Chain A
């Protein structure tokens, strides 16, 4: 299960999307997510789907990898869809025992499902095409103005990059410990909920210990190299916008305009 989460998993390849400035990708992702909630109607989602398809195509990351991230949230998705389906008041369509499906419920459930799917795929595109380091660099730059109001932007960015870096490490570690315990005939699969939860102890205790050990080692290594936070710290690879980044910005704005226009047009025609 753990291995299926794609967030924070970089897919190594060379593409236009990979080469974009991380700030562009961050901003585009945020705008894309906002757009998903602003668009209210099928037309907007068609535009979003087309936009997403183009970006995925350009990124050269196999589509399977984006869908992998979805597996982890399928349960969440199911719950939200079911709740919306049954609990939205409105014009009843079908009645099953004490549950009624309404027209508004169907609409809401479908839109929510689309939104969540696109949201996960959209952010997966970003994390699959951007290394965690680039990502936090970009975030640090974008949030720099907040330093004026004493937000520790650099520290937050550093914490994020460390957290992201640790995801694959800890996943690998989990895999290793799991195998080691399975070699001692541990059973992680059968039994009821309580038994299953109990069976995780031999996995979680070593995992936590190893996480603390690694954190300790990392802190020492950083201090040994005189790390002391973000003041006056320079970058080895400062971020610069290139031509393709401006084009990408234009493309994203074009997408937003198209999405809004499509929604309006459909409203006019209907």
Chain B
């Protein structure tokens, strides 16, 4: 179910002295099955943008189409949209409220009006998808660790079986291990279910490894929208707006500047390894 944004604008506090133009003429096409990284500095409008995608916020002007239907049309069922476009907010563990993990995950599918069996089945599947062990299912969500709570919250959205999953800064406030776990889990989930995933982040290193398309937001507009390699090629511009290419890209650039003939358009550590090996092999042959 593709999502199409056509010149979407959003202005906060439109008629006050403190009006903020948060989105400026954003036009995007989000086809099925893509893994997209949405990147921008704090206040660049990325959180505002994703809240438009499931109809939580209404565009001041412009249109958003989900599967060809205008989501702001009067007869459009926004709840159905929200079950199709699952949005996991920042610090989603703050939304947990039930007495045990399993019931909490049931909340989403229950709201869809499914029968009890189906609800429980979906909750179980979702918890399995995020890799939570059965032992935790009937514990209070408040007794879990930060990373586990976050996974439960993500399962809470997954249980609705969305076709598009949006995660707003899913790694915020986690330690490196928790971060890798969550990101790895999301990548696996993407592979297993084939749904569209949009990963919102301000860290290039986080997304570079996983996504196949990066959208860079700056001051409410889309600055770049391309495959990671091409986007990181603009590293000078990225630095100007307070972002950076992944650290490994810089290392390779330094190597190249220092006379080593390695390819410098790498974005992940694995690619760097390959490039270095290629270089070393090539050198070996020359000798």
Contacts and interface: CB of A to CB of B under 8 A. Distances in A.
A224 interface: no
Contacts of A180: 89, 92, 94-95
A60 to B, nearest CB: 10
Contact of A185 (B92, B96, B108, B142): B108
Nearest to A176: B89
A185 B54 contact: no
Interface residues of B, number: 26
Contacts of A210: 94
Contacts, number: 57
Contacts of A62: 16
A209 B142 contact: yes
A145 interface: no
B79 A185 contact: yes
Secondary structure class of chain A's binding surface, majority of residues: helix
Nearest to A182: B56
A12 B18 contact: yes
A184 B108 contact: yes
B79 A206 contact: no
A182 B82 contact: yes
A176 B92 CA distance: 10
Given A177-B94, A179-B56, A209-B142, A184 B111 contact: yes
B97 A206 contact: yes
Interface residues of A, number: 20
A197 interface: no
A233 to B, nearest CB: 34
A187 B78 CA distance: 11
A90 interface: no
B46 to A, nearest CB: 15
B94 A179 contact: no
Given A181-B95, A206-B97, A186 B86 contact: no
12 contacts: A177-B94, A180-B89, A181-B95, A182-B56, A183-B88, A184-B111, A184-B160, A185-B82, A186-B107, A202-B95, A202-B97, A206-B95
Interface of B: 16-18, 51, 54, 56, 79, 82-83, 86-89, 92, 94-97, 107-108, 111-112, 142, 156-157, 160
Interface of A: 12-13, 62, 176-177, 179-187, 201-202, 205-206, 209-210
| 6 shortest interchain CB distances as A-B pairs | A205-B97, A185-B111, A180-B95, A184-B108, A183-B87, A180-B89
